[in-house]
Amino acid sequence: MSEELLYAGKAKSIYSSDKADELIVVFRDDITAFDGGRKDVIPGKGEYNAKVSARLYALLEEHGVPTHLLALEGPVRMRVRRLTMLPLEVIVRNIAAGSLVRNYPFVEGSPLDPPLIVIDFKDDSRHDPMLNDEIILALGLVTQQELEELKQLARRVNEVLRDLLAGLGIQLVDFKIEFGRDVDGRIRLGDEISMDSMRLWDSRTGASLDKDVYRFEKGDVLSTYGQVAARILGGE
Ligand code: ATP
Ligand code: TYD
């Protein structure tokens, strides 16, 4: 079976592969913000995000979190298990920032203990509205048991990533993950975890080390992503 483009999203393209239950994710250099309202191309960005995602997914697998990762096949290509994605954006927050401080009276930078889990409906046409447990169950998106599993996995992902990044001098402020069901119906982490989907602050200076550099024009996006990738990938 040859590779066929199945879906082109805002930052990644998904291709079929030689195996029916495996896909190829290509991390592109496109970057968008504000619901696609701003778009640019940053040559080299896709490679940093692919490598960081692969490294973090391998680490999560070592810590018992099932992911879609099979292998990185070149600088921007990741072979993954085909998942039926859940239309959910699971956001974990350790420190108040972003939409949480825009929409609620949280003070930016204040710690959230225990971390907050917020789940949005992944539907661009509706601008990804926030869900609650009752709405998720009423829509039949997952079962009660799967919902508990998603939250438990999200907490575990947070612990693993927060510890890793803290050791590299980076505060994990918040991040977004997506899950899907594999061919056996098992919930696995899909999509990506990268500088596009995490909010990261330098522990010493407080400087943004993520897509906020692009959103709010805080500096050189590629060099920021490169610095984070170098810290995470170390001597790889
Ligand atoms: P957003 O930026 O809001 O996440 P998008 O669809 O534009 O939306 P991209 O990251 O560009 O996002 O596209 C990747 C698409 O591939 C997403 O829709 C994601 O849910 C889907 N996807 C990720 N991993 C898998 C997988 N293992 N199997 C099937 N689909 C996947
Ligand atoms: P959030 O503060 O809700 O949104 P914004 O960054 O637009 O103010 O984002 C929380 C975290 O989740 C942040 O690290 C970015 C990530 N995220 C995504 O990657 N994609 C999304 O569609 C959303 C809503 C958040």
CATH of the domain at 29: 3.30.200.20
* Closest ligand to residue 16's CA: 1
Identify the pLDDT of residue 2: 76
Identify the pLDDT of residue 1: 57
For the Cβ of 190 lying below 6 angstroms from any atom of ligand 1, the answer is yes
Query: Average of pLDDT values for 131-158?
Result: 98
Summarize pLDDT for 99-117 with one digit per residue, the tens: 999 999 999 999 999 999 9
Structural domain of 27 = 5-81
Residues 65 and 91 occupy one common structural domain:
no
- Asked if the bond preceding 66 is cis, omega within 30° of 0, the reply is no
Give yes or no for residue 235 having a pLDDT over 80: no
Neighbours of 92 (CB within 10 A): 24
Task: Give the nearest ligand 2 atom to 173 CA.
Answer: 14
Summarize pLDDT for 38-89 with one digit per residue, the tens: 999 999 999 999 999 999 999 999 999 999 999 999 999 999 999 999 999 9
Residues 209 and 92 occupy one common structural domain:
yes
For the Cβ of 212 lying below 6 angstroms from any atom of ligand 2, the answer is no
Residues 70 and 102 occupy one common structural domain:
no
Q: Domain containing 131 — which CATH number?
A: 3.30.470.20
Residues 64 and 17 occupy one common structural domain:
yes
For the Cβ of 199 lying below 6 angstroms from any atom of ligand 2, the answer is yes
Whose Cα sits closest to atom 2 in ligand 1? 10
In a domain? residue 154? yes
Residues 60 and 76 occupy one common structural domain:
yes
In a domain? residue 230? no
Summarize pLDDT for 202-231 with one digit per residue, the tens: 999 999 999 999 999 999 999 999 999 999
Identify which of 75, 229, 98, 102 has the alpha carbon closest to the alpha carbon of residue 174.
98
In a domain? residue 189? yes
Identify the pLDDT of residue 35: 86
In a domain? residue 110? yes
| Residue 120, H or E segment | strand 111-121
Q: Under 8 Å CB-to-CB from 117, ≥6 apart: which residues?
A: 90, 91, 92, 93, 151, 154, 155
